[in-house]
Structures are given as structure tokens and as C-alpha cells.
Amino acid sequence: MTCQTNSLFVLSVIMIYFGHFGKSLNLNQLEDDMQQLKADFEANRSTVADGGPIFTHKLTNWTERNEKRIILSQIVPMYLEILKKADTSKAHVRNLAEQLTTLSRSLTDGSNKMQDLMYLSKLQISDLKIQRKAVNEMYSVFQALQENSSSKKKRSQSLKKCRCI
């Protein structure tokens, strides 16, 4: 995939993920809007390919639906921020911003999950008080891990049963 198609790919993944194709979005219009936006930002320059893609390679690492919500909750606001810097008097900029704004409303839980991850990454695990609290909660974490692994086993067993019928 070339860098020229990265923005369209990411936006397409977002739209497909939320089922907006065929409902309120015209694919041809989206592609036209993206081409105009690329022209506005001179995104077809050869230097755009330097260093590889910034979003699309990250999307491939996140496979589960809830995982994708987390990463998309971080990507969509970045696109909205980029579009704020564009000429909003242009119809294609407004259309893309409107589509992304609509989608971002359904990503709020993913953003909350991302904040939880950031909170955990900032914990000072070397702090004795934090260690004590963590040890106190460890059994509950084991229980949550057990529940998670058993639910995955049940799903895979039911899938095997369905295939045999």
C-alpha cells in the first residue's frame, strides 16, 4: 500500500468498522473529498513516504473489536485536529470532519479504556504502598484472568460444536 492511499485506507477502515458504508456515506464522494484534501496538504509529495505510514501499520496490530475501539479512539481525534487546520470553508473538509465527528461520538468508551491504560503505565510500582495495594488485589486479578480464559474456552468449544453439526 502506498502512502498516497494511507489516509483513505484508515478512513475506510473507520467507516467500515462502524457500518457507515451504504448508510449515509457515499464512497465516491469520500474518495473525491480525500483526493481534494490530499491536494490541499500536498500529500502526494515523494517525501510523504519517508519513514513509512503513521496509522495504518498500527491498525493491523489491533485485531479484536474492543482493541480496535481503543486505537481508533486515539486516531480519529488526530484526524479531526488535522482538519481543524485545513480550510473549513471547503465542502470536502467539512464533509470529512462531519463524518469523523459522528464516528468519534461512538468511540468515547475506547478513549476511557485508553485513559485506564495510561493510568496503569504511570503507576509507581517501586512505591511500597502501591506494592501493598497491588498484592492485596492480586487474588481478584487471578479471578478475572480465570474468568477471561474460561469464557474464551467456552466460545471455542461452542464453535467446534457448531462445525460438527
Q: Residues 34-59: pLDDT tens digits?
A: 999 999 999 988 898 888 888 888 88
Q: How far is the C-alpha of 110 from the C-alpha of 45, rounded, in Å?
A: 33
Question: Lowest-confidence range among 1-15, 32-46, 74-88?
Answer: 1-15
pLDDT of 7 above 70: no
Spatial contact of 79 and 6, defined as CB atoms under 8 Å apart: no
pLDDT of 161 above 60: no
pLDDT of 122 above 50: yes
Portion of the chain with pLDDT greater than 90, in percent:
35
DSSP letter for each residue of 46-94 = GGGGTT--SSHHHHTT--SHHHHHHHHHHHHHHHHHHHHTS-TTSHHHH
Spatial contact of 9 and 38, defined as CB atoms under 8 Å apart: no
Rg of the Cα trace of the chain?
A: 21
Burial of 107 (C-beta count, 10 Å sphere; 0-12/13-18/19+) = buried
16: helix, strand or coil: helix
DSSP letter for each residue of 18-55 = TT-BTTTB-HHHHHHHHHHHHHHHTTTSGGGGTT--SS
pLDDT of 9 above 70: no
Between 159 and 135, name the one with better pLDDT.
Answer: 135
pLDDT at 36: 93
CA-based nearest residue to 12, from 65, 59, 73: 59
107: helix, strand or coil: coil
pLDDT at 18: 57
pLDDT at 22: 41
pLDDT at 16: 57
Question: Lowest-confidence range among 7-11, 30-34, 109-113, 135-139?
Answer: 7-11
Give the global pTM: 0.65
